Amino acid sequence: MSRISLRRGVVAGVVALLVFVFLPFVGLHVAWILPGTVDVVNSTGTLEVLALCFMFAGVALGYDLMFGFTGLLSLGPVLYFAAGAYVFDIAVTKWNWPLAPALAVTMVFTLVVATGLGAIALRVDGIAFAMVTLAFAQAFYYLIENNPHNLTGGDTGLALSDARLPALFSGAVSNTRNLYWIALVFLILTYFVVWMVTESVTGHVLVAIRENERRLEVLGIRSFRYKLIAFVLSSLIASAGGVVYVLVIGTAVPSAVASTSITISVLIMVVLGGAGTRWGAVLGAIVYVYLQQLLTKVSAEPSIVNLPAVLRVPLSQPQFLLGAVFVIFVLFVPGGLAGLAGRRRTKSETSPVAPRKLPAMLSESLKKGKG
């Protein structure tokens, strides 16, 4: 990437960040564009939807580290998303723990589970790896649905008690602005972590695994350890996203946090934005969640009933429209939103490390002790 392009990207990111930071202070009325029940920018409904956009953007960015940069198609990130939501909820609500210990036990639990299950799943490749991760995710879904020791609440879920949480993290409607900023901070921290990893020698190795794992093994670099790093880090990010989700929504329900549809949605977000581009995953997630909420709102409008059938039928099915948008992007914009914006480089420059230059770049990075 040229310095000019990098500079423009930084400027655009800073401007977008400033806009999002001060958005809760904007009381502008905008009809038909905002997803909240009230067409006001800083309304509770709009800020909650935007918080979900930021939260899923962070989760999608973590998944992109594993899928887009490393080339691992996992169908189990929902396991760690649900683990983050439920372990944190149980620690705060059932065990009456304060914020810090609850966060700590949630991250430690995720680290142990992700390391163990990742070490097992990464023994196989390709579709077998995807199926193993899916099996683990399904097993965890049925575990929390069965309400072991009356901890998860079963099908009805577990409402978060904020009695031991600081006022900043309270789930009260009046606190929506703070929860919005918490979700935004989660996205910023996630982007920083993923950027640090992908720009380090570890990131170069991850891309090398995606491009030609066998060639990497010939160079004497064992790929298993690096794939496990990507898997565990992606899982920790998903778990943190689950914590943010339960703070914003105020409850954890199996169908909402542990269903495989969450994994499919995150995968669509990454592909929609552009796999392996970092900012593409963020943009794809924000657009996907925003459109999902907006189309759901539009489908409930009374005026939809009076439209001709050719418009009324698709507008009343938001998931159909989302699916159609995804198919169009896959067919005509394979690079996702990143490609549509003209930010994708030529084939030799598409990824952070070109295949022909991998040995030299890895050797140079290792000698300098980068990463």
**What pLDDT is recorded for position 351?**
47
**Core vs surface per residue 171-183: b (16+ CB within 10 A) or e:** beeebbebbbbbb
CATH number of 3-368: 1.10.3470
**What pLDDT is recorded for position 342?**
59
**What pLDDT is recorded for position 368?**
53
Cα gap 82→258, rounded to integer Å: 5
pLDDT in tens, 138-188: 999 999 999 999 999 998 999 998 888 887 777 665 688 899 999 999 999
Q: Tell me which residues of the chain have a pLDDT lower than 70.
A: 1-6, 171-174, 341-371
**What pLDDT is recorded for position 341?**
64
Please report which helix (H) or strand (E) contains residue 263, including its range. helix 260-273
Q: 5-10 — which CB contacts under 8 Å span 24+ positions?
A: 5/343, 9/279
Q: Which residues, in sequence order, are bridge partners of residue 251?
A: 159
Please report which helix (H) or strand (E) contains residue 198, including its range. helix 176-198
Q: Which residues contact 329 (CB under 8 A, 6 or more apart)?
A: 271, 272, 336, 337
Side chain identity, residue 167: A
**What pLDDT is recorded for position 4?**
64
Cα gap 6→338, rounded to integer Å: 14
Cα gap 279→12, rounded to integer Å: 11
Cα 299 off chain centre by: 26
pLDDT in tens, 314-342: 777 778 888 887 888 778 877 778 877 65
**What pLDDT is recorded for position 233?**
97
Strand locations in the chain, DSSP E? 158-159, 251-252
Number of H helices, E strands in the chain: 15, 2
